[in-house]
Amino acid sequence: MIELKNFEITGAGSFHLKADKLQIKSGLFIQISGNNNSGKSLLLKCLAGFYHDYKGELLYNGIPEKPGKYSVILINDFTAVLPEKSVKYNLYLPFARITKRKKKLLEEMLKDCGLDKCLDRKVKTLSRSEIKIMELIRAIIQQPHFLLIDDFDTYFDNLSLENLTKAFDHAAKAGTAIVITTRKKFEGITNSYAINSGEIHKL
Amino acid sequence: MKLRYLLHILIILVLLLIDDGIYNLRQYSQEELSSRAEQTYLEIEEKPAILIVTEEKSERISDDLSNLYFVNKVSKQNKSEIIDILSRQYQLDEASSLLDELNLPAVLEIQFRGDAFSETESSLFWQATEKEEGIFQIIYSDENYLDDWSKLDKLLEYSGLIENYWQWIYWGLAIIILLTVLSFRLSYENRQEKYWQVFTRSGGKPALSKIFRILNSIFLVFIPLAIAMGLEYFLWINHTFGYMPDFRFHIIRSAALVIVSLLSLFLIRRRDYD
């Protein structure tokens, strides 16, 4: 579980983001919506452990420092792929070895999203959205503790959400907490938060 | 293994073999020069000076000359030995008693020390003999030694040249090897930076990238060093090299290169992930 207590970040620009209390429990799917420059991306970077310039407490299972065993994958505007390599190469990149079960699951998820035919194609030939779907599937297969997706609505639409249902179900079963940030609120997501006037409110 | 990494290993191997070649060439040429010089010293020692002196003064002259630092040995043939030689050579057995009554000179054979006898010593020898009384005749000429001295001068000149310059070349190349290792490591890892960045961001274990960086640093120098040492050892057991490889030197060199290779990790540009 990730917990924010009296959390406060001030960006280099004009924004200021506060969260008195926010808990992200395992297996949950959380949506945080907010306008541009409201601090959503920086919040995810804080949760991923890439940004430390904040006030208040950020606790991982009650511990202030992110323990090494805590796996957090952040999907944001950074393209975590090697464009000159094949889709297959990029999908298997973080795995020292992959079990047959995971491999099968991966193939199923790729099929749901129509990426199963692209395994041998170079990643640079894929669209930005396809790359993000690939990154997302690759992340879910690893069953991290937290999967953070920034600007979800930039890369994924409602159709993508439908195609990724199996993937998100698998993540929930595996106990992966998914936090997405969006500009507009996606309907049907129960755990939704919104950033209003620099504060995070539960909807 | 990437082609670039293999190429780096190959270049370091070639540089190490050149460096080892310089070391072994110096060792071989110095041994060869030293053996030729030894031969020339022997030739000088085999050309003694002969002094014909009075029997009475012979002991003192012999002692004086023996004390000269460039004299190896003074052999004296005294009256009885000369009578004996004359008697045997000319069948003068009956005349030996007659010869005994004659005041015959003694013969001193001066053998020089090859490694200490040069033109300067030749002059000193002349000066030493001029001071002595009782010398009838000196059978000695500088010209006998001129060829030897000139040969020795050349040998010493070559040996000096090799000794003066080999270290500069050898250590210069050693520094070039160190810098090459450093530059290869930096260039390789900076190229790999994007890969490891993507690897980590895609969920790969960050510790794995550190382990690979350390292993790459070690193998980059360990593989060529092992090949170079193995090759030297192989040549030695096949009698191509006359001497055993200096394993202590190889270990020290390996340690220096591995340390530099590992130190390069501190200089690798680290980029922020976001």
Q: What proportions of chain B, in percent to the nearest 5, are helix, strand and coil?
A: 75, 10, 20
Q: Model confidence at B130, in pLDDT bands (50, 70, 90)?
A: confident
Residue A169 lies in a domain: yes
Residue A13 lies in a domain: no
pLDDT tens column, B179-217 = 999 999 888 888 888 888 899 899 888 888 889 888 988
pLDDT of B83 above 80: no
Cβ within 8 Å of residue B94, ≥6 positions away: none
Instruction: Write down the pLDDT at residue B92.
Output: 64
Distance between CA atoms of residues B17 and B99, nearest Å: 73
Instruction: Write down the pLDDT at residue B271.
Output: 60
Residue A123 lies in a domain: yes
Instruction: Write down the pLDDT at residue A83.
Output: 93
Instruction: Write down the pLDDT at residue A92.
Output: 93
For residue B209, what is the nearest residue in chain A, using CA coordinates? A94
Position with higher pLDDT, B69 vs B248: B69
Q: Which of A96-100, A109-113, B242-246, B263-267 has the lowest mean pLDDT?
A: B242-246
**Are β-strands A146-149 and A72-75 bridged in parallel, bridged antiparallel, or unpaired?**
parallel
**Are β-strands A177-182 and A146-149 bridged in parallel, bridged antiparallel, or unpaired?**
parallel
Distance between CA atoms of residues A156 and A180, nearest Å: 11
Cβ within 8 Å of residue A182, ≥6 positions away: A31, A32, A33, A151, A152, A153
Q: Tell me, letter by letter, the H, E, C secondary structure of B6-45.
A: HHHHHHHHHHHHHHHHHHHHHHHHHHHHHHHHHHHHHHHH
Q: Is B202's CB within 8 Å of A76's CB?
A: no
Write the CATH number for A190.
3.40.50.300
Find the mean pLDDT for residues A178-193: 85
Distance between CA atoms of residues B107 and B135, nearest Å: 10
pLDDT of B88 above 80: no
pLDDT tens column, B25-78 = 888 888 899 999 999 999 999 888 888 888 888 889 999 989 999 999 998 876
For residue B102, the SS3 value is: coil
Q: Is B274's CB within 8 Å of A139's CB?
A: no
For residue A76, what is the nearest residue in chain B, using CA coordinates? B274
Say how many C-beta atoms besides its own lie within 10 A of residue B60's C-beta.
13
CA dihedral in degrees (B64, B68, B71, B77; nearest 10)?
Answer: 0
Strand runs (DSSP E) across B131-214, as ranges?
A: 135-139
Q: With an 8 Å Cβ cutoff, is A144 touching chain B?
A: yes
Instruction: Write down the pLDDT at residue A8.
Output: 87
Cβ within 8 Å of residue B109, ≥6 positions away: B48, B49, B50, B74, B75, B76, B77
Domain enclosing residue A126, as ranges: 28-38+69-202
Residues of chain B contacting A124 with CB distance shorter than 8 Å = none
Q: What is the DSSP string of B230-273?
A: HHHHHHHHTTSSSS---HHHHHHHHHHHHHHHHHHHHHSPPPP-
Instruction: Write down the pLDDT at residue A81.
Output: 93
Give the closest residue to B201 by CA, choosing from A159, A72, A92.
Answer: A72
Residues of chain B contacting A94 with CB distance shorter than 8 Å = 199, 202-205
Instruction: Write down the pLDDT at residue B25.
Output: 86
Give chain B's mean pLDDT. Answer: 85
Find the mean pLDDT for residues B244-259: 83
Residues of chain B contacting A82 with CB distance shorter than 8 Å = 194-195, 198
Residue A179 lies in a domain: yes
Distance between CA atoms of residues A188 and A184, nearest Å: 13
- Reported ipTM exceeds the 0.90 cut: no
Which tokens go with A139?
């992340």
Which tokens go with B129?
């003999």
Cβ within 8 Å of residue B66, ≥6 positions away: B73, B74
Instruction: Write down the pLDDT at residue A55.
Output: 87
Q: Is B202's CB within 8 Å of A90's CB?
A: yes
Longest dimension (CA), chain A: 50
Say how many C-beta atoms besides its own lie within 10 A of residue B10's C-beta.
13
Q: With an 8 Å Cβ cutoff, is A80 touching chain B?
A: yes
In chain B, the domains with their CATH numbers are 3-38+158-267 (no CATH), 43-150 (3.30.70.3040)
Distance between CA atoms of residues B93 and B88, nearest Å: 7
The count of domains in chain A is: 1
For residue B100, the SS3 value is: helix
Instruction: Write down the pLDDT at residue A67.
Output: 65
Q: Is B203 left (phi over 0), alpha (psi -120 to 50) or beta?
A: left
Q: With an 8 Å Cβ cutoff, is A96 touching chain B?
A: yes
Distance between CA atoms of residues A69 and B161, nearest Å: 64
pLDDT of B118 above 70: yes
Q: Which of A11-15, A31-35, B248-252, B266-270 has the lowest mean pLDDT?
A: A11-15
Distance between CA atoms of residues B56 and B53, nearest Å: 8
Give the closest residue to B260 by CA, choosing from B177, B200, B156, B192.
Answer: B177
Q: With an 8 Å Cβ cutoff, is B4 touching chain A?
A: no
For residue A89, what is the nearest residue in chain B, using CA coordinates? B199
Are the beta carbons of A133 and A140 closer than 8 angstroms? no
pLDDT tens column, A35-72 = 888 888 888 988 888 888 888 888 888 877 766 677 89
Q: Is B202's CB within 8 Å of A93's CB?
A: yes
Q: Model confidence at A123, in pLDDT bands (50, 70, 90)?
A: very high
pLDDT of A136 above 90: yes
Instruction: Write down the pLDDT at residue B147.
Output: 92
Instruction: Write down the pLDDT at residue A66.
Output: 67
Residue A126 lies in a domain: yes
Q: With an 8 Å Cβ cutoff, is B202 touching chain A?
A: yes
Q: With an 8 Å Cβ cutoff, is A137 touching chain B?
A: no
Residue A52 lies in a domain: no
Q: With an 8 Å Cβ cutoff, is B194 touching chain A?
A: yes
Q: How many percent of chain A have pLDDT more than 70?
A: 97
pLDDT tens column, A141-172 = 999 999 999 998 888 887 777 788 888 888 88
Residues of chain A contacting B208 with CB distance shorter than 8 Å = 96
Q: Model confidence at B274, in pLDDT bands (50, 70, 90)?
A: low
For residue B179, the SS3 value is: helix
Are the beta carbons of A138 and A132 closer than 8 angstroms? no
Q: Model confidence at A20, in pLDDT bands (50, 70, 90)?
A: confident
